[in-house]
Amino acid sequence: MPPRPIGVVTRGTTNPNRLRRMDRWITATHARPLRTTPTPTAVDLGYGATPWTAVELLNRLRTVAPTTEVVGVEIDPGRVTAAHPYAREGLTFRHGGFEVPLPHRPVLIRAANVLRQYDESEVPAVWRRLCARLAPGGLLVEGTCDEIGRRHVWIALGPEGPRTVTFATRLASLDRPSDLAERLPKALIHHNVPGQPVHTFLHDFDRAWASAAPYAAYGARQRWIRAAQALAGDWPVTDGPSRWRQGEITVKWEALAPRR
């Protein structure tokens, strides 16, 4: 009898195109490891009640690495059965959880909207377990978004642990950057309080956004770029205008990690 999967069943809420911002970032920043692996494997962990996100992940990753294979992993066996009709060349579905039941190590694990229902104290152990399953040069992307993917915050981790935090949004729907606070991953969301780095960062981002208000005449994108430029003077921002234009900004994890 196979061992019981590690984890608990999620709500399973999903929508087509929900994870487009995360996928777009992955293809832009992680393309080289995908391309340099002969047959790279990516895992869509906890894809939910329907397999749209796994189907979309395959299509998007193959734009940069045509030999990519995607495995959708779900802890609810009924969801795995329901997904089987969508399997095709390069796309399969498996019953499992945080143990990631593959015979080899994946180059990418994407875990979106999975850890929000867990206690914060459980997150480090899950991160370690998932990172231990990565191939050399692999990436774990763990984060949260709203139901239709307009606002998203994710943490990128390598085998050594967390590296960066990315904030991404549909700029036309943004009032101020701190609106993204409601989508902070579990490791950060309870630390959005005065005295914690993530709270200070969002406060500074709001201030930079307000200062960049004159650029709103040229569109929300130009305002976001100017605000990001201002932030980069005080925070370890790791990206530049090409990503800012997409409504993103990425900061080193160490700058936002909770103070204990």
Residue 195 tokens, joined: 């005295």
- Residue 71 located in a structural domain: yes
- Residue 115 located in a structural domain: yes
154 lies in the same domain as 192: no
142 lies in the same domain as 192: no
191 lies in the same domain as 140: no
- Residue 206 located in a structural domain: yes
Mean pLDDT, residues 16-23: 95
For 33-64, the three-class secondary structure string (H helix, E strand, C coil) is HHHHCCCCEEEEECCCCCCHHHHHHHHHHCCC
Structural domains of the chain, count: 2
**Alpha helix positions (H), the chain:** 20-29, 31-36, 52-61, 77-83, 123-132, 186-189, 197-211, 220-232, 241-244, 253-256
160 lies in the same domain as 185: no
| Residue that finishes a domain, picked among 147, 169, 191 | 169
List C-alpha distances in Å: 100 to 97, 185, 207: 6, 21, 42
181 lies in the same domain as 153: no
DSSP assignment letter at 136:
T
- Residue 251 located in a structural domain: no
| Residue that finishes a domain, picked among 120, 137, 169 | 169
- Residue 250 located in a structural domain: no
pLDDT of residue 51: 95
72 lies in the same domain as 161: yes
106 lies in the same domain as 204: no
The residues, ordered by sequence, that sit 6+ positions from 144 with a Cβ below 8 Å of its Cβ are 112, 113, 115, 116, 152, 153, 154, 183, 184, 185, 186
Give per-residue pLDDT as tens, 141-155. 999 999 999 999 999
Give per-residue pLDDT as tens, 25-60. 999 999 999 999 999 999 999 999 999 999 999 999
80 lies in the same domain as 188: no
27 lies in the same domain as 115: yes
86 lies in the same domain as 140: yes
Q: For residue 142, give the H/E element and its range.
A: strand 139-145
- Residue 15 located in a structural domain: no
Give per-residue pLDDT as tens, 70-92. 999 999 999 999 999 999 999 99
Give the separation between CA 151 and CA 147, rounded to whole angstroms.
9
pLDDT band at 63 (very low <50, low <70, confident <90, very high): very high
Which residue segment(s) compose the domain that 193 sits in? Answer: 171-235
Mean pLDDT, residues 124-148: 96
Return the minimum-mean-pLDDT range out of 15-19, 85-89, 90-94, 103-107.
15-19
Residue 1 reports pLDDT greater than 60: no
pLDDT of residue 2: 61
Strand pairing category for 108-112 and 151-158: unpaired
State the CB neighbour count (10 A cutoff) for residue 118: 15
Give the separation between CA 181 and CA 188, rounded to whole angstroms.
9
Q: For residue 155, give the H/E element and its range.
A: strand 151-158
- Domain containing residue 85: CATH number: 3.40.50.150
- Residue 257 located in a structural domain: no
32 lies in the same domain as 58: yes
Give the torsion through C-alpha atoms of 218, 29, 96, 130, to 10 deg: -110
pLDDT of residue 92: 98
What's the mean pLDDT when you consider all of the chain? Answer: 95
pTM of the prediction? 0.96
- Residue 148 located in a structural domain: yes
DSSP assignment letter at 68:
-
158 lies in the same domain as 178: no
